Amino acid sequence: MVNLLAVAEGAAVDESIVFAGVLLSLVMIYAASKVGGEISNRLGFPPVLGELIGGVIIGISALKFVVFPGVGVSAPDSLLMQFLQFTVSASPEAIGSIFREDSQVISILSELGVFILLFEIGLESNLSELLKVGTQAVVVATVGVVVPFAAGTLGLIYFFHLPVIPSVFAGAALTATSIGITSRVLAELGQLTTKEGQIILGAAVVDDVLGIIVLAVVASLAGTGQVDVKEVGLIIVSAVGFLLGVLFAGGLINQAFLSMAGIFKTRGGIIVPALVLAFILGYLGAALRLEAILGAFAAGLVLDDTDKREDLEKLLKPIADIFVPIFFVVVGAKTDLNVLNPAIPENRSGLIIASFLITVAILGKVVTGLAVFGQPGINRLAIGVGMIPRGEVGLVFAAVGNASGTLSPSLNVAVILMVIITTFLAPPLLRFIFPPRSVEA
Amino acid sequence: MVNLLAVAEGAAVDESIVFAGVLLSLVMIYAASKVGGEISNRLGFPPVLGELIGGVIIGISALKFVVFPGVGVSAPDSLLMQFLQFTVSASPEAIGSIFREDSQVISILSELGVFILLFEIGLESNLSELLKVGTQAVVVATVGVVVPFAAGTLGLIYFFHLPVIPSVFAGAALTATSIGITSRVLAELGQLTTKEGQIILGAAVVDDVLGIIVLAVVASLAGTGQVDVKEVGLIIVSAVGFLLGVLFAGGLINQAFLSMAGIFKTRGGIIVPALVLAFILGYLGAALRLEAILGAFAAGLVLDDTDKREDLEKLLKPIADIFVPIFFVVVGAKTDLNVLNPAIPENRSGLIIASFLITVAILGKVVTGLAVFGQPGINRLAIGVGMIPRGEVGLVFAAVGNASGTLSPSLNVAVILMVIITTFLAPPLLRFIFPPRSVEA
């Protein structure tokens, strides 16, 4: 039926096969997330670790069920696409288009996953609690950006004798904590609302913004050889303006949500207006060249104090349950562990640089705990460890650096390894340093 | 930031702008669905009618916020894309790609919407209750499929001298009663548990399945361009075989779901396995050249008798609340009501056809009440009127017929008008014939 729909829309491929491919991809993604998440949970680790590993297993590194188009990766490399092609008897040309369209849809669903995660984390966080630890969070974020950046860059220049710009780029890749991974682990450990959890979360948000600014700086440096002051200034102004704007308009946004939720009598009367507000702020975040997830988090924060919050959290839960795992499995599936293969020459030199970067990446964030002041008895190690995972932001640096030719193959491998190790190390480390407070379903 | 990622991945466009476009589209779609749905509800009509009209208002017929690529429709025709281009300062070439990618994602989300709707309808349908009034329901459903189909098709061929295939297609669009609208109206009138209500509900369920089979038949018919008896027979056998096969394997599927739901301790332990089963059956439906939504409906039916059903329904509700409206708004947005303009000659014939289709649609269902036997004192008129609303299944016919080019623009509008009028007319008519017993929300 939708086959015919595709013809009318001028599309090159059968819409119903694209949809069937999406269904199959989701089946594989959910299977990986549940099997991985459950095993991880039984072993006492946060489920997110199992979802990441499940993603690695079905992804480019192992079974190649769910892979994404890229350099040297096309439809014949995807087992799922081969299976689809066989079962629906599509032509090789058609399956190429289907592969690209399905990958596009799964990527967007994965972005919706981290978007909804951050919205949920924002809802669970308390704005006034977060502001109470605001100064601490800014200090932790700043130290966690400056130390790894400086140590990484200088180390690469003086110990490894690398040129300045690649060193600056790789150093910059060490800066941004993955807010998605950190917040999910904290939530799973029941530590999201502790003082440590709030400082980590606040610092991760600030750090994300700092990471965007750093990326703008180094990208313009790598591109033109100099820093585009106007461009960087614009991003800083946008970031500050966005965060302050949301804080000041928070009451208004709250009121808008409450009136809508109060007026609407039909199905979805609470969840739909809440998501609409989150989507508007997410769009604003993206339009200001920040990130959509910052808008999602902000929306969750400002809706936090409404009396419909509990209803909303309950309604959001199953939605998050089906969207969020897509993000983590996709992050795992896109992780190419072939960079670990020592038979490839650039991987060997990459491994040596990687061990340096990994050390800097871990220590550079662990020291941030020492920067916390005026909080007697606080778990400083937990804060430092909580800032370790780099995740998606570090991978963006690696991809940009690789594409622009700024990072040599081995330096690129080293940055990817750093991201993989910090991402996969943080959940078990946090689990031991920061014992779970209560078991959350 | 993700801008640069796009470069690395060799993609033509900025991934974060594609995502921002999806967020904006969803904001417009939800706004249309809530405003339309609420107004419709206040006026005593099913919210789905308002969602459809909301879609018409933001779509190609009116404001042109949410439009889809097609003949003569590109990015500059979309107000939303113009807004996006202006706010993110993208190039006209980039916005063309973004328009296509966003439309692709919204189309898939809309397909997920109707998929989840039919999964929910399957869950809400009670197989054993259905079997109790089984004979009556099957008779009512069969008469209600055969009479409008035959009268509509023959009338179009002999009175309007239309070709056979468009006539069969339009006739087929007259067959399926909307179980969603009918059951909601019955609940509102407190008539869901009366004998009349049970028969209407049962017949609507049977009729819904028949409608899906009829759709598969006529879609394949329209695709090949000829009446291939063997092909049609094969599809009927596949459809019936698929549905019966799933029903016979129902116990096994049920058991698989229950064991998974029992084993899983992490978040999403009930909803994710349920959706995975639905997605697998949906994929099978598509791979058998039937319909993904047929699999969704079957999955809902077989999971119906599990003791986790209530939990599952509760969890599915917010998911349906955010997915289902996308389908109805998108159907409305794709509906070009400009062909209704009576200044254009061929549109006048469209209006004449519409009045014929509407008459057949109403009378063809009203006579079904006469087919009820062995039920003295039953309100036959109420049963007939209860079967009138066509809703979503009729709209699927319209969308498929329009997309495949099987239905001419005026015939397509005639079918949509038929759906709108029957949906619009049924609630007040039913209220008059079938006085409310108690007000249920």
Please state which CATH number belongs to domain B109-433.
1.20.1530.20
A41 and A50 Cβ atoms separated by less than 8 Å:
yes
* Triad A206, B26, A328: Cα angle to 5°: 50
The chain A residue lying nearest B100, using CA atoms, is: A11
> Taking residues B179-193, what's their average pLDDT?
68
> Taking residues B314-325, what's their average pLDDT?
94
Distance CA B100, CA B112 (A): 18
Residues of chain A positioned with their CB less than 8 A from the CB of B87:
287
Query: Which residues are CB-neighbours of B249 under 8 A, at least 6 positions away?
Result: B302
| Average pLDDT for chain B | 82
More confidently predicted of A410 and B131: A410
As beta bridge partners, residue B70 has: B73
User: Cα torsion for A362, A367, A368, A374, to the nearest 10°?
Assistant: 150
Tell me whether residues B264 and A1 touch, CB distance under 8 A: no
Tell me whether residues B266 and A41 touch, CB distance under 8 A: yes
Shortest distance between the Cα of B371 and any Cα of chain A, in A, equals 32
pLDDT of residue B47: 80
More confidently predicted of B363 and B215: B363
Tell me whether residues B400 and A20 touch, CB distance under 8 A: no
> Taking residues B341-357, what's their average pLDDT?
79
pLDDT of residue B298: 82
The least confident of A16-25, B212-221, B283-292 is B212-221
Distance CA B337, CA A183 (A): 48
Residues of chain A with pLDDT under 70: 1-13, 304-306, 391-393, 438-441
Name the nearest CA neighbour of A407 among A176, A168, A227, A217: A168
Instruction: Assign B313 to helix, strand or coil.
Output: helix
In percent, the amount of chain B with pLDDT more than 70 equals 84
pLDDT of residue A341: 80
Nearest CB among A71, A87, A316 relative to B287 is that of: A87
Write phi, then psi, for B390 (nearest 5 degrees). -95, -40
| Residue B98 DSSP label | H
A323 and B272 Cβ atoms separated by less than 8 Å:
no
Tell me whether residues B282 and A212 touch, CB distance under 8 A: no
Query: Which residue matches tokens 């849809």?
Result: A105
pLDDT of residue B98: 92
| Residue B368 DSSP label | G
Domain range summary for chain B, segments of one domain joined by +: 2-107, 109-433
The least confident of B169-183, B247-261, B364-378 is B169-183
Q: Please check the confidence at residue B165 and state whether its pLDDT lies above 90.
A: no
Residues of chain A positioned with their CB less than 8 A from the CB of B52:
none
Tell me whether residues A263 and B38 touch, CB distance under 8 A: yes
pLDDT of residue B7: 38
Which of the four pLDDT bands, split at 50, 70 and 90, describes residue B339? low
Q: What crossing angle do the helices spanning B391-404 and B309-334 adopt, rounded to 10°?
A: 40
Tell me whether residues B404 and A5 touch, CB distance under 8 A: yes
A160 and A353 Cβ atoms separated by less than 8 Å:
yes
Query: Which residue matches tokens 């509407």?
Result: B358
Residues of chain A positioned with their CB less than 8 A from the CB of B267:
47, 317, 320-321, 440-441
Q: How many CB pairs under 8 A join A and B?
A: 248
> Taking residues B318-335, what's their average pLDDT?
89
Tell me whether residues B319 and A318 touch, CB distance under 8 A: yes
- Please state, as a whole number, how many other Cβ atoms lie within 10 Å of the Cβ of residue A220: 17
B312 and B123 Cβ atoms separated by less than 8 Å:
yes
- Please state, as a whole number, how many other Cβ atoms lie within 10 Å of the Cβ of residue B9: 18
pLDDT of residue A67: 92
Tell me whether residues B47 and A396 touch, CB distance under 8 A: no
Model pLDDT for residues B354-366, shown as the tens digit of each residue: 889 999 999 999 9
The chain B residue lying nearest A276, using CA atoms, is: B27
Burial classification of residue B424, based on how many CB atoms lie within 10 Å of its CB (0-12 exposed, 13-18 middle, 19 or more buried): middle
The chain A residue lying nearest B318, using CA atoms, is: A315
Query: Which residue matches tokens 């900025």?
Result: B14
Confirm or reject CATH 3.40.50.410 for domain A111-433, answering yes or no.
Answer: no
Q: Please check the confidence at residue B135 and state whether its pLDDT lies above 50.
A: yes
Query: Which residues are CB-neighbours of A400 under 8 A, at least 6 positions away?
Result: A215, A219, A406, B4, B5, B7, B8
Shortest distance between the Cα of A355 and any Cα of chain B, in A, equals 25
Q: What is the DSSP string of B61-86?
A: TTT-SS---BTTB-GGG-HHHHHHHH
Tell me whether residues A264 and B322 touch, CB distance under 8 A: no
Tell me whether residues B403 and A321 touch, CB distance under 8 A: no
Q: Please check the confidence at residue B257 and state whether its pLDDT lies above 80.
A: yes
The chain B residue lying nearest A319, using CA atoms, is: B319
Residues of chain A positioned with their CB less than 8 A from the CB of B264:
34, 38
Distance CA A206, CA A146 (A): 13
pLDDT of residue A438: 58
Residues of chain A positioned with their CB less than 8 A from the CB of B105:
104-105, 108
Residues of chain B positioned with their CB less than 8 A from the CB of A31:
276
Tell me whether residues B268 and A69 touch, CB distance under 8 A: no
> Taking residues B123-145, what's their average pLDDT?
80
Model pLDDT for residues B35-57, shown as the tens digit of each residue: 999 998 888 777 877 888 899 89
Shortest distance between the Cα of B300 and any Cα of chain A, in A, equals 16
The chain A residue lying nearest B285, using CA atoms, is: A20
Distance CA B67, CA A291 (A): 26
CA distances from A24 to A112, A158, B202, B291 (A): 18, 50, 32, 14
The chain A residue lying nearest B27, using CA atoms, is: A276
- Tally of residues, chain B: 441
Nearest CB among A8, A71, A404 relative to B70 is that of: A8
SS (H, E, C) chain A: CHHHHHHHCCCCCCHHHHHHHHHHHHHHHHHHHHHHHHHHHHCCCCHHHHHHHHHHHHCCCCCCCCCCCECCECHHHCHHHHHHHHHHCCCHHHHHHHHHHHHHHHHHHHHHHHHHHHHHHHHHCCHHHHHHCHHHHHHHHHHHHHHHHHHHHHHHHHCCCCCHHHHHHHHHHCCCCCHHHHHHHHHHCCCCCCHHHHHHHHHHHHHHHHHHHHHHHHHHHHHHCCCCHHHHHHHHHHHHHHHHHHHHHHHHHHHHHHHHHHHCCCCCCCHHHHHHHHHHHHHHHHHCCCCHHHHHHHHHHHCCCCCCHHHHHHHHHHHHHHHHHHHHHHHHHHCCHHHHCCCCHHHHHHHHHHHHHHHHHHHHHHHHHHHCCCCCCCCHHHHHHHCCCCHHHHHHHHHHHHHHCCCCHHHHHHHHHHHHHHHHHHHHHHHHHCCCCCCCC
> Taking residues B222-235, what's their average pLDDT?
67
Nearest CB among B18, B34, B219 relative to A108 is that of: B18
pLDDT of residue A319: 97
Start-to-end CA span in chain B (Å): 48
* Triad A26, A27, A33: Cα angle to 5°: 85
pLDDT of residue A57: 94
Distance CA A346, CA A333 (A): 23
A196 and A187 Cβ atoms separated by less than 8 Å:
no
- Tokens, residue B111: 């397909």
Query: Which residues are CB-neighbours of A406 under 8 A, at least 6 positions away?
Result: A165, A166, A169, A222, A400
Q: Report CA B122 to chain centroid distance, whole Å.
A: 13
Shortest distance between the Cα of A287 and any Cα of chain B, in A, equals 5
Tell me whether residues B272 and A30 touch, CB distance under 8 A: yes
* Triad B72, B77, B83: Cα angle to 5°: 160
Nearest CB among A6, A70, A280 relative to B9 is that of: A70
A417 and A351 Cβ atoms separated by less than 8 Å:
yes
Tell me whether residues B37 and A266 touch, CB distance under 8 A: yes
A284 and B87 Cβ atoms separated by less than 8 Å:
no
* Triad B26, B30, B33: Cα angle to 5°: 140
Tell me whether residues B325 and A272 touch, CB distance under 8 A: yes
The chain A residue lying nearest B216, using CA atoms, is: A1
Tell me whether residues B272 and A88 touch, CB distance under 8 A: no
Nearest CB among A26, A267, A399 relative to B279 is that of: A26
As beta bridge partners, residue A73 has: A70
pLDDT of residue B180: 63
